[in-house]
Chains A and B, each alone.
Chain A
Amino acid sequence: MSRHHVKVCSVTSYSPAVAFLFIELRRHLSLFVSLAGIHALCSLFFVWSRNPDFGFASLLAGMAIGIVLPVYLFVDYYREFVLGERVLVHTLPLRTSTLYAIKSLIFLLGNLWVWSGGLINVFWNPAGLYHTRIELSSSPALGVAYLFISKIAGVLCALALIGLAIAVGKQLRKRALIHTMIALLLVATIGVLAVQIMGQTAHWSIGSSSMQTFTQYAGPLTISNVFDTTPDDINDTIRWNSVLLNLGMTLAAGLAIRLLLQSRKYEIYGK
């Protein structure tokens, strides 16, 4: 008998979904923790420092995270569901749509975890959004609820739109067509959402947050409406219809993803 013949591990129960969930958690945890840490540090600068250089660097870091994170998520979905790089995953006795849902759950939690790093500035900074605007609004509880719900809806929608673009693109054979379809679908769906949200005011900015209004989300895109004069009550800038748009798009895209990933045309290892 070998010197290594010991009880290697214990397996408590058979559950491929839980096994895949843990794998995904381990794969992405370090990145999510790192980005959340950077985001939290950036937030802390705003709480303790008025140094404009720190402020600028923190804003840049925040913007970089806003770009890096969606790109990372997209690349991971692409490698798993277009290239099928990890064959083992697709031999598990799970539907492809279940694999997608599990990965998306981890990505949702990871996104929210990274985003939560920025809440230090929102809630702890005396000059932050909560103390200067939400606390003084007609209903602080409603404002805080909207802050969270709109973000969750935006992230859900972003993950669903990426999945939809990949599932539709993968119905095609040629790599160039797949890429074109994915790009077109992402631009079109996010564009439609953005136009719907921007249409409510004449002025807006993309990729930034504002002390005037609540941030709106078109899937992965953040949008701030800009007013000539700051609204007295920030709750007047709550737009539940943008949340409903995101959730509606998530639902529709989710159903389409389920159908497409189960279809005969969807083949991980098609040449």
Chain B
Amino acid sequence: MQPIVVCENVSKVYGKKKALDALSFSVHPGQIVGLLGANGAGKTTLMKLLAALLRDHSGEIRVLGETPGLKTKQHVAYLPDREFLYPWMSVADTLTFFGRSFPDFDLERAERLIAELNLNPKDKVRALSKGMQERLGVALTFSRRAKLYILDEPLAAVDPSTRSRIMEMILGNFDPDSAILISTHLVREVESLFTHAAIIDEGRLRLHGSIPELTKGSGQSIEELFRALV
């Protein structure tokens, strides 16, 4: 099966700082990959390269066989690590905007998800709590029938109850033909979500593989491996 993401020897520098250093790895359909690393490890840089928000790098990146750009944006759903919706829009306006903007947006799924969240379509985004906005962002992202979902720290700023609901939403809407890349430094709390893990430290890929491979081979949990390496 064709990989969804292929990175070969990818490096990225900001001035004199090397954010990514000769990183190589691939993501296949059906995988939920935890991209683990401390703050500043290079997780967000890698995600932005895959989402075609950053362009200038060395090495090769392929998303669905293409260089990240206009074509891949149609199949990549990216949830950034900051507020990204228009606060003055209502929930319903936001759905309409996504529906018009992305060819793979599934309106019925979106309506079901916001109903599950008990969101009032007439509510303004700015009127929602931080946790609700986070959940709306995840719901909108997973309302796209994308091939690659990139979630940058979706669980960092929410309480444990919201975190569980977001994780349920992710698992409940996962299509095995697609792949998910989730960055986090909350390893213990969310490692049950992952089928694979990639640990990045100072721009270098320190460990990558399926969860059973990594844990059985070392006899350690993902969190223990993470702490040992980072």
Give the Cβ gap from A3 to chain B, nearest Cβ, in Å.
8
Give the Cβ gap from A23 to chain B, nearest Cβ, in Å.
7
With both beta carbons as reference points, the residue of chain A lying nearest to B96 in the complex is identified as: A9
Q: A8 touching B116 by the CB < 8 A rule? A: no
Partner of A4 from B17, B76, B103, B114 at Cβ < 8 Å: B114
* Interface status of B101 (Cβ within 8 A of chain A): yes
Q: B118 touching A93 by the CB < 8 A rule? A: no
The answer to whether A93 and B73 touch (CB under 8 A), given A8-B91, A8-B121, A270-B54, is yes
The answer to whether A8 and B56 touch (CB under 8 A), given A91-B51, A92-B73, is no
Assign chain B's interface to a size class.
35 or more
Q: A9 touching B84 by the CB < 8 A rule? A: no
Q: A271 touching B78 by the CB < 8 A rule? A: no
Q: B53 touching A91 by the CB < 8 A rule? A: yes
Residues of chain A within 8 A (CB-CB) of B55 are 263-267
The docked-state distance in angstroms from the alpha carbon of A175 to that of B51 is 23
Give the Cβ gap from A87 to chain B, nearest Cβ, in Å.
4
The docked-state distance in angstroms from the alpha carbon of A3 to that of B86 is 25
User: Can you list, as one digit per residue, whether each of A9-25 has a CB less than 8 Å from chain B (1) or not (0)?
Assistant: 11101111011100100
Give the Cβ gap from B202 to chain A, nearest Cβ, in Å.
15
The docked-state distance in angstroms from the alpha carbon of A90 to that of B119 is 26
* Interface status of A202 (Cβ within 8 A of chain B): no
User: What is the number of contacts between chain A and chain B, taking CB atoms within 8 Å?
Assistant: 109
Residues of chain B within 8 A (CB-CB) of A15 are 100
**B residues 71-98 touching A (CB-CB < 8 Å):** 73-74, 76, 78, 80, 82, 84-86, 88, 91-93, 95-97
* Interface status of B228 (Cβ within 8 A of chain A): no
Q: A11 touching B54 by the CB < 8 A rule? A: no
Q: A4 touching B78 by the CB < 8 A rule? A: no
* Interface status of A195 (Cβ within 8 A of chain B): no
**A residues 43-93 touching B (CB-CB < 8 Å):** 84, 86-88, 90-93
The docked-state distance in angstroms from the alpha carbon of A87 to that of B152 is 12
The docked-state distance in angstroms from the alpha carbon of A269 to that of B19 is 13
Q: B73 touching A1 by the CB < 8 A rule? A: no
The docked-state distance in angstroms from the alpha carbon of A154 to that of B110 is 45
* Interface status of B15 (Cβ within 8 A of chain A): yes
Q: B107 touching A9 by the CB < 8 A rule? A: yes
Give the Cβ gap from B95 to chain A, nearest Cβ, in Å.
5
| A residues adjacent to B (C-beta < 8 A) | 1-11, 13-16, 18-20, 23, 26, 84, 86-88, 90-95, 173-174, 263-271
6 smallest A-B Cβ distances: which pairs? A11-B99, A5-B115, A19-B100, A2-B115, A93-B73, A9-B96
